[in-house]
Amino acid sequence: MHEAVKRVLILEDDYGLRTSLRLFLEQEGYAVGEADDAEVALELDAAEPFDVMLVDLMLGGIDGFTFIRSVRPRTTAPIIVISARDGARDVVTALEAGADDYVRKPFDVAEVRARIRAALRRPDLPLVPAAGGYPAANGIVLDSTDGPLVFDPDAATLRRGAEDLHLTSTEFKLLLALTNSPGRVMTRENLVHQMWPEGHHGDVRVVDVHVSRLRNKVDKDAAAGGVISTVRGLGYRLDPR
C-alpha cells in the first residue's frame, strides 16, 4: 500500500521564490499549495489541511506571526518559518506563536527539504517506560499536577482522561525524547539532536520555547512542580513520580 502524498503549503509573497520552492518540492514528490497572503492560506488549509507549512513572516496584510497564531489551534502540522528576519527576538516570537522550526533567508533548497523530512518523521527511539510512571494499555502514564496523563508514542497522542491534548510534531519529539530518558538530565544539545536528527543550525535555546509550550499543555500550574523540571545550567529532566 502506497503512502499518501504529503501536502505542503508555501505562504510567501515573493513570486519568484515561491514558484522556485513549489517546483522543487513537486519534483520531490510533494503536493504543493501556495498563497501570497495569510487569509488565502487559512482558507486553503481549512478546505484541505496540509501536512507541513512553510511560512514567511513579512507579508502584506496579515503577517506571518499572526497567521501562525491563527492556524496553530486547529492543526498539529509542523510549521517551518522561512524569513530574512533573523533577530533572536523574531525567532523566539515565531516559536512562541506556534512555529516548529526556523530557516533564515537566503537558504539552500536542500536545507528546506531536510527540514521538511525531519519535521514529518517521528524519531525512531527505543521506548522506555518512565520510572515511577507505569505502562498503560496503549502508552505511558505520567503524573502531572492536573492528574495522570497517558502518552501513546505509537499513536502520537497525549490524553488526560477523555481530553486529547494536541501535540505538534516538535512537541511530540520533545516529549518522546524525555520519556525515553526518565530521571536523566537532557542538555539542550541532546534534545536538539533528537528533535532535529538531520541537523539544526539555529540557537539551541529554541528548546526552551518548545519546553515552555509543552509544559503549558501538560501542567496548568508548572510553578508547583510537574512532569518536566528545569535543571539550571544543564537542561531538562522528566520527573516521574
Same domain, 67 and 149: no
pLDDT in tens, 184-225: 899 998 898 888 776 665 667 888 888 988 888 887 665 556
> Could you tell me the residue range of the domain that residue 17 belongs to?
7-120
pLDDT in tens, 13-66: 999 999 999 999 999 999 999 999 999 999 999 999 999 999 999 998 899 999
Q: Is residue 2 part of a domain?
A: no
pLDDT at 134: 42
Report how far apart, in Å, the C-alpha atoms of 180 and of each of 127, 143, 211, 238 are. 6, 16, 16, 9
Same domain, 180 and 225: yes
Same domain, 92 and 146: no
120 burial via Cβ count (<10 Å: 0-12, 13-18, 19+):
middle
Q: Which of 54, 86, 120 is the last residue of a domain?
A: 120
